[in-house]
Amino acid sequence: MFNLHSHSLLSDGALLPSEVAVRYLSLGYRTIAITDHADYSNIDLVIHAILEFTHHWPKDSRIKVLPGIELTHLPLEQFKPLAKYARTKGIKIIIGHGETLVEPVIKGTNLAALAADIDILAHPGLISEEEAKLAKKKGVFLEITSRQGHKDTNPHVVEEALKLGARLILNTDSHSPEDIIKPQDLFKIASGAGLSQKEIDNIYQDMRGFLRERGV
């Protein structure tokens, strides 16, 4: 079981990275990514801290913790250079903070993030057909989320992704202990967004392949 979108107190989360990992482990997750928010003001601090943490996380732990980052509320021209910078520094999972309807995100963010070297477009809101096509072309995952507010557009994201053949991923986007939910509860949210059990199974099979490609 995987969750590739979570936050710690390295940005706006409530828990240490170790607390995040242990709480996911207790619920049966086996691989997570800690993907704290970053822009030019803090990207070096976040990258250094998460790489230090994951480097020292026990190799024999029953849960793998991947170093990630979420590029958040950037001016559009900054997505490409910051994604490239994070990748060269050793970040494994790069998320673009998408055009959720519950925050004042700059118009054009979905396209700018998709044009950069990201792995996941988080909570992409009312994603357009053009954006979903670009996600498919680049192999970027479109996120189905359990996060309050962001999840309201899950059905639209599912519809566009299935129609155009774009990849989907299920994530919690956790910030607090209450956001770290059981896998079964995440499945229910995916089902409520319009995914069948077979489609959910295919998403996890695709995620396994993606992680193998990344050497995880």
β partners of residue 121: 96, 142
* CATH class for the domain made up of 2-213: alpha beta
Q: Write down the pLDDT at residue 83.
A: 98
What confidence tier does 165 reach under pLDDT thresholds 50, 70, 90? very high
- Say yes or no to pLDDT of 214 above 90: no
**SS3 readout for 147-191:** CCCHHHHHHHHHHHHHHHCCCEEEECCECCHHHCCCHHHHHHHHH
Q: Stretch 66-70: mean pLDDT, rounded? A: 98
Q: Write down the pLDDT at residue 174.
A: 98
Q: How far apart are CA 193 and CA 188, in angstroms?
A: 9
Per-residue pLDDT of 79-130, as tens digits, reads 999 999 999 999 999 999 999 999 999 999 999 999 999 999 999 999 999 9
Q: Stretch 51-73: mean pLDDT, rounded? A: 97
Q: How far apart are CA 105 and CA 88, in angstroms?
A: 26
Q: Write down the pLDDT at residue 215.
A: 79
- Say yes or no to pLDDT of 216 above 90: no
Per-residue pLDDT of 128-146, as tens digits, reads 999 999 999 999 999 999 9
**SS3 readout for 125-157:** CCCCHHHHHHHHHHCCEEEEECCCCHHHHHHHH
pTM score of the predicted model: 0.98
- Say yes or no to pLDDT of 197 above 90: yes
Per-residue pLDDT of 1-44, as tens digits, reads 999 999 999 999 999 999 999 999 999 999 999 999 999 999 99
- Give residue limits of the domains in the chain: 2-213
Q: What angle separates helix 43-56 from helix 17-26, to the nearest 10 degrees?
A: 50
